A = this chain, B = another copy of it.
Amino acid sequence: MSKLKKNNPVQKLASDLSVYGVVLAGGSGTRFWPKSRLKTPKQLCALGGQEQAMLSVTLDRFAPLVAPKRRMIVTHREQLTATKKIAGAKCPLVLPEPQAKNTAPAIALAALAIERLAEGTDPVMISMHADHVITDLNEFNAVVTRAVATARSGWLTLLGVVPTYPETGYGYIERGQALHLQPFDGTNSPYEVAGFREKPDLATAQRYVESGRFLWNSGLFVFPVKTLLAELEQRLPKDMKALRSCLKKSVGPGKNPFDEAKLAKVYPRLTKISIDEAVLEKSQKIAVIDADFGWQDVGSWDALAKAFPATDESGNLIYGKAVTIDTSNTIIDTDGPLVATIGLHDMVVVHHKGAILVCPKSRAQDVKKIVEALQAGKRKDLL
C-alpha cells in the first residue's frame, strides 16, 4: 500500500466505509476428492502448490479493497469451524447457513447483514467465491474499482471475464450497449447485459469467443445493496420476509446479526435458487464490466492446469515429491508418499490423507462418483 499514490482509486476504495466484501464459501468437497473432503471442501484446501487455502488467498485479495471489519463469509454450518480457523483476523464475521440453498439465499443473507451493519450509509457489496483463482491482482483491483463506481450509479454489476478459449463448462454473458457512465472513458466502459447463455456446446462456445461479444459469467458481482434487496424482495418476497424475521433486534458491531436457531427453522422452506435465476436474469438494472485478470473457476482436477503454471517443461503440475519418466501434462499432488510415474500423459494422480486417486484428466468430472461410492460403502472416514 505504501507504494500507491495518494489519489490511487484502489486506495480510495479501501478507505470507503460503505464498501463491503462478501465471500461465498459453500461447496460439498466432492470434486477435488481426495484432497477436498466434506469438512474441508475445495476452498479450505491449498491447491496448485499454494501454501494457503483458497479461502485465505481470496480474503487476501480484499486487502487493498475492503478492511477486515467490513468483510464477511457465508458458509455451510458443517464447515464453520474449519472456515473460522482459516479466516481468522482476515474476516472475523462468518455467517453459517443451516443448509445449502444455492447462491440467492446466501447473497440475501449477506445483503441483509450489510444493511444492518452499515446503518446510515448506502453500502455496496463486492461478492466473490472462495474457490476461484485470479492471477493478475493489479487488473483485478482496477476492474473492481470500476465495478464499484458502476454500482454506485445503481447498477447490479457483473464481472464478465474475457474468454481465452471456448470453455463449455461456464455460462456466458452477452454484452449490450455501452453505458457511458462517469468516470469511464470509451475503452473500459461498463455495458448493459443483452442476455445470459447457459453452458454452451463446443461449437457455440467457439462462436461466442470469436464474436468478441460474450464474456464468462464469473459469479463475481458488485451490487448496490439497497437495489439488490429491493430486487430480492420483489422476486422472493416470502423468503426475504422469513430471512428478515431471523435478524436479531440488537447486535454488536461485527457480530452475526442473525438468530441461528431461527435460521435453522426458516432455511428448509427457502427456495433453492441461484442469484442469477432469481434476480440477475430478470432485472433491468444489470451491467457487465470486462474482466481480464487471469480468472479461473477451478472446477475439478483437470482445470488446475488452466489456473496454475506447469512446474516442469513437460507441462506437468507436480506438488510434492515425485519421480516422473516419460510423463506429460499430468497433475501429481501428494501430501507425503513419493509418486513415481512412467508413461503417463494427461493424467491425475493424487494422494491425500489415506486415499489415492488415479484417473485421466478427461474423467476428472467423475470424481464425484467415487465420493458417491464411498458414501454407499459407508467409508465416512474418507469423505
A340 touches B363 (CB 8 A): no
Contact of A34 with B by CB under 8 A = yes
Contact A351 B356 (CB under 8 A): yes
Q: Is the CB of B359 within 8 A of A341?
A: yes
Q: In whole Å, how far is A37's beta carbon from the nearest beta carbon of chain B?
A: 13
The reply to whether A337 and B356 contact each other, CB–CB distance below 8 Å, is yes
Known: A323-B373, A358-B349, A358-B358. A366 touches B342 (CB 8 A): yes
Q: Cβ of A299 < 8 Å from any Cβ of B?
A: no
Measured CB to CB, the residues of A under 8 A from B are 33-34, 323, 325-326, 334, 336-344, 347, 349, 351, 354-360, 362-363, 366-367, 369-370, 373-374, 377, 379, 382
When the two chains form the complex, which single residue of B33, B325, B370 contacts A373, counting CB atoms closer than 8 Å? Answer: B325
How near does chain B come to A58, taking the closest CB pair, in angstroms? 28
Bound CA span A382–B323, Å: 12
A182 to chain B minimum Cβ distance, whole angstroms, is: 53
Query: Of B344, B354, B382, which contacts A336 at CB under 8 A?
Result: B354
Point out the residue from B34, B347, B373 that lies within 8 Å of A358, measured CB to CB.
B347
Minimal Cβ-Cβ distance residue in B for A362: B343
12 new A-B contacts at CB < 8 Å, known A338-B356, A347-B358: A325-B369, A334-B356, A338-B382, A339-B356, A340-B355, A340-B357, A341-B357, A341-B359, A342-B366, A342-B367, A343-B360, A351-B356
Q: Quick check: A34 and B370 within 8 Å, CB to CB?
A: no
Chain B residues closer than 8 Å to A363, beta-carbon distance: 326, 342-343
| Cα–Cα, bound, A349→B350 (Å) | 12
Q: Residues of B contacting A359 with CB < 8 Å?
A: 341-344
- In the complex the two chains form, what is the Cα distance from A34 to B356 in whole Å? 15
Contact A354 B340, beta carbon cutoff 8 Å: no
Chain B's closest residue to A351 (CB) is B356
User: Interface centre among A323, A362, A367, A369, by most B CB within 10 Å?
Assistant: A323
Q: Contact between A325 and B370 (Cβ–Cβ < 8 Å)? A: yes
Contacts of A342 in B (CB 8 A): 357-360, 363, 366-367, 369-370
A340-B356, A347-B358, A358-B344 known; A366+B334 contact, CB < 8 A: no
Task: Identify which of A342, A343, A362 gathers the most chain B CB atoms within 10 Å of its CB.
Answer: A342
Which B residues are CB-close (under 8 A) to A382? 338
Q: Which of B340, B360, B367, B369 has a CB less than 8 Å from the CB of A370? A: B340
12 A-B contacts (beta carbon < 8 Å): A34-B340, A323-B370, A323-B373, A337-B355, A337-B356, A339-B355, A340-B355, A340-B356, A340-B373, A342-B357, A342-B358, A342-B360
